[in-house]
Amino acid sequence: MSTNHEQQLKDFRELVQKIKSYEEALSLMYWDLRTGAPRKGMDTRSEVIGVMSTEMFKLSTSDEMGAYVEALSQPDVYAQLDDLNQKTVTECKKEYEKSKKIPAKMYQEYVVLATQAENIWEEAKEANDFARYKPYLEKVVAYNQQFIDLWGPKETRYDTLLDMYEPGLTVAKLDEVFGELRAKSVPLVAAIAASKNQPDMSTLEQKFDIEKQHQYSLFALEQMGFDFQAGRLDESVHPFATGINPGDVRITTRYDENDLANSLFSSLHEGGHALYEQNISKDLIGTPLCTGTSMGIHESQSRFWENMIGRSRMFWNRYYGDLQNIFPGQLHADVDTFYRAINRVQPSLIRTESDELTYNLHIIIRYEIEKMIFNEGLAVEDLPAVWNAKYQEYLGITPPTDALGILQDVHWSSGGFGYFPSYSLGNMYAAQMMNTLRREMPELDSLIEAGDLHPIKAWLTDKVYQYGKSLTPSEIILQITGEELNPAYLIEYLETKFSEVYKL
């Protein structure tokens, strides 16, 4: 490589590092905003976030960035770069070409709007006031429609948004895998509802001290390998994980004295996200590759730890005694009764509190509504009615309030259209990975029952975590399992598990 190109590479990496520094600062500000920042300061904070985001955006779309990615992408130069630099150049070029199509002023306006919309959503949800939130959501949708026009619609307009979270994913593919999942799930839900072997829920229908719930969440996270020297647990309205860098990964959960399972499994869920971010290779720090490869793969890790480990019989054979020690006055039932209770299948209104089986129907509902918004022009004012109708159609229940319906999720406030399918994709990826893990680690059940979860974390670090974004979702799942995404493994897992729980 010529001296000139060596200098360009050095300057390029310095620019990338500067952008990542802005990104870290913004991540910290977002975390603070959602975990207790004074309400009166939120509008000003939104403006500050808008300014800083725009500065970061300008750097990523600057003439300097354009010149670097163009020069370093030349075949003769690119071939001389090592693998890390090649992938960094490729990722930056992709983002440059996409972001360059959006005017900086428009981007700043959108960031401020989205941050304000999240604040208003929180207030509207608490007050059950969709009318207050509606104008903000209308603007967020309108901006996303403009972005699609600027980027250029793919096969459908919604495909353009899907690709943001799961590269290469299309409506055609999702219709296929979701159709297969729905076709198998609906009769299974019906068979479970008709079963005479319903779980005894009385052990969970009690009050559980919030401080003790927090204590157990810390214990469970420690057991799964969460590094508290590189992260922390806080509380928020909507649980989330923020990977500032591998040495600073912050998660939140939500506590309800009437719902022990909610905080417990939210903590395990966000802990799964955190293990991914904490165990990305240190070589990727300071590059755009130092994050999860896609939201689907990221969700595979949260759902893997929450459900396939955390809701397993082996897990509770080991850890139920610890939970009983924290709540000796409430948990008198045996472990089998508790296990069946936490795996009850019952259509419910709230996605984050839904069972492992019907959860996917919540995602399919949101997916179908998002398609209607962007491919069919569904108006925001009609969303509550459409939402309620789909809940009645898919789950047999109708939300009595908007707070329990259309206002329950924060994602649309920040423009996260195309994100929701990631949750069910995560379930599919997780089941497919678990199938391979069982083959490669035949002692898996014994390890879980012994509370030795570290070999599982080490396997996932080797197969998934260390690569960050340096491998694509398809490369990850193909490298692990030898095949592309296949929903059959999730269907088999659900049918096997719930046939046993309900003695079908």
The annotated binding site for Zn(2+) is made up of 269, 273, 299
Is position 370 annotated as part of the catalytic site? no
Greatest CA span in the chain, whole angstroms?
76
Rounded to 10 degrees, the C-alpha dihedral 362/363/367/369 comes to: 20
| Per-residue CA distances from 263 to 21, 90, 121, 208, 447 (Å) | 32, 40, 22, 11, 25
Distance CA 370, CA 67 (A): 37
Distance CA 40, CA 48 (A): 14
Give the distance from CA 186 to its chain's centroid. 24
- SS3 assignment for 165-213: HCCCCCHHHHHHHHHHHHHHHHHHHHHHHHCCCCCCCCCCCCCCCHHHH
What's the burial of 498, exposed, middle or buried (CB within 10 Å: 0-12/13-18/19+)? buried
Distance CA 501, CA 150 (A): 50
Q: Return the structure tokens found at 322.
A: 């610890």
Q: Return the structure tokens found at 110.
A: 């959108």
- CA nearest neighbour of 266 among 308, 238, 244, 294: 238
Angle between helical axes of 104-127 and 42-60 (0-180°, round to 10)? 150
Q: Return the structure tokens found at 212.
A: 């003790």
Place of tokens 């490729």: 90
Q: Which among 23, 118, 270, 356 is annotated as catalytic?
A: 270
Calculate Rg over the CA atoms of the chain: 23
Per the document, the length of the chain is 504
Q: Return the structure tokens found at 93.
A: 């070029």
| φ, ψ for residue 270, nearest 5 deg | -70, -30
Cα angle 221, 226, 229 (rounded to 5 degrees) comes to: 120
Q: Which helix (H) or strand (E) holds 252?
A: strand 248-253
Q: Return the structure tokens found at 418.
A: 């195309």
- CA nearest neighbour of 365 among 345, 394, 385: 394
| φ, ψ for residue 345, nearest 5 deg | -105, 115
> Could you list the active site residues?
270
